Amino acid sequence: MTKIVRLDPLNPDLNVIKEVADIVRNGGLCAFPTETVYGLGADAFNPKAITKVYEVKGRPKDNPLILHIDSLKMFNELTSDVPEIAYMIASKLWPGPITLILKKSNLVPNEVTANLPTVAIRCPAHPIALKLISSLGRPVAAPSANISGKPSPTKAEHVVRDLMGLVDVIIDGGDTFFGIESTIIDLTVNPPVLLRPGPITPEDITRILGIEVIVPPVARGYEEAKVALSPGVKYRHYSPNTPLILIELDNYEDLVKLANIVLNKALELRIKGYNVAVVASSETLNHYRSKGFPVINLGSRNNLFEVAHNLFKALREVDELGVDIALVEGFNDNVGLGIAIMNRLRKAASERLCY
């Protein structure tokens, strides 16, 4: 039976946090909010609990988990041969939505890292997450709190829908802030390589740290990695049950062209007998509504933070509409959070149409 507890995200009840930490300490699983998405947490030093995380999610065993920490002391205990750049990132961007890939120490169980010599590690910027880790007194291993392959949860209701009855406790801390998972960069190579784009963009890293980050095709969602050095690089993710067709353009400045292409495709599918919905930016909503198509609003193209925040919620809403197919507008992946948005959409899509 799953217990649901509601906590103030800014000032959580420490007695409740302690109760949840005790559950985790005794081998239980806890879903908890971070600033990115909800995580499914287990004691990082309990291999049996880690195995349960994989079983509950239906997660492939070669897809490693992220260790969530609350201090540099914990960081040093879990890593080895740490380059100076890692400490620079930690000092400037932690707590925050960036995960580092580093060589692991002997303290880290192989179950956490999928038998790899590296570990994914971050310090979350959320009071509930930090106080949970602090109360537990050890790192929390946590992937996103959803069934593997489905859209990540950005509110407790999503976790309840996916994992009710499968975990010991769900902490309801309201909506998450960013709505997409953390940025992941590999620091075992030089220069660093972006494995998964997230709230902290390559431009942010260069601006804040003066470091250039390599952006391979896998980070844009064009291909899967042969070896999963981190979550989000090898397997299809984020997909609604409804088939999703992503419409991509070379030039997103021409919104009229994009809207017409999406509308014509929707009309073509309607003629063939399909019920179609459109996932679109606020600038083009009425183009589809005028023809009677149900539309899910991602937000304005002038505010990619809003689009990213709404993305997983929108992908879940697609299934709630009960349509046969959904079309989704693409975004420019060369600007800011566009790369993170398109990474998720390319992985979620059943089909991509490029113009």
136-156 pLDDT, tens per residue?
Answer: 999 999 999 999 989 999 999
What is the reported pLDDT for 62?
A: 87
pLDDT band per the 50, 70, 90 thresholds, residue 224? confident
Return the half-sphere exposure (C-beta side, CA atoms, 13 A cut-off) of residue 266. 28
36: which 2 tokens?
């990115």
pLDDT average, residue stretch 156-170: 97
Is the peptide bond between 95 and the residue preceding it cis, with omega within 30 degrees of 0? yes
Least confidently predicted of 19-23, 145-149, 179-183, 219-223: 219-223
CB–CB of 213/206 below 8 Å? yes
pLDDT band per the 50, 70, 90 thresholds, residue 226? low
Could you give phi then psi for residue 191, rounded to 5 degrees?
-70, 160
Q: pTM for this one?
A: 0.95
CA–CA separation, 172 vs 175, rounded Å? 9
What is the reported pLDDT for 229?
A: 58
CA–CA separation, 16 vs 68, rounded Å? 19
* Residue of 192, 231, 24, 31 whose CA lies nearest to 114: 231
Q: Residue 231: is its pLDDT beyond 70?
A: no
pLDDT tens, position by position, 269-296 = 999 999 999 999 999 999 999 999 999 9
pLDDT band per the 50, 70, 90 thresholds, residue 323? very high
What is the reported pLDDT for 227?
A: 57
DSSP calls for 206-261: HHHH----B--HHHHTSS--SS-SSTTSSS--S--SS-EEEEE-S-TT-HHHHHHH
Domains of the chain in start order, with CATH, are 3-220 (3.90.870.10), 244-354 (3.40.50.11030)
User: With pLDDT > 90 as the criterion, what percentage of the chain qualifies?
Assistant: 91
CA–CA separation, 285 vs 154, rounded Å? 23
Q: Residue 232: is its pLDDT beyond 70?
A: no
Q: Mean pLDDT over all residues of the chain? A: 95
Q: Residue 83: is its pLDDT beyond 60?
A: yes
What is the reported pLDDT for 334?
A: 93
Residue with token string 């070379």 = 250
pLDDT tens, position by position, 1-35 = 899 999 999 999 999 999 999 999 999 999 999 99
What is the reported pLDDT for 209?
A: 87
What is the reported pLDDT for 225?
A: 60
What is the reported pLDDT for 30?
A: 98
CA–CA separation, 3 vs 23, rounded Å? 11
Q: Residue 308: is its pLDDT beyond 80?
A: yes
pLDDT tens, position by position, 337-354 = 999 999 999 999 999 999
SS3 call for 60: coil
Tell me how crowded residue 305 is: count the other CB atoms within 10 A of its CB. 16
pLDDT average, residue stretch 286-308: 97
What is the reported pLDDT for 222?
A: 87
pLDDT tens, position by position, 111-130 = 999 999 999 999 999 999 99
Torsion of CA 261, 262, 268, 273, to 10 degrees: 180
Amino acid at 252: Y
Q: Residue 316: is its pLDDT beyond 70?
A: yes
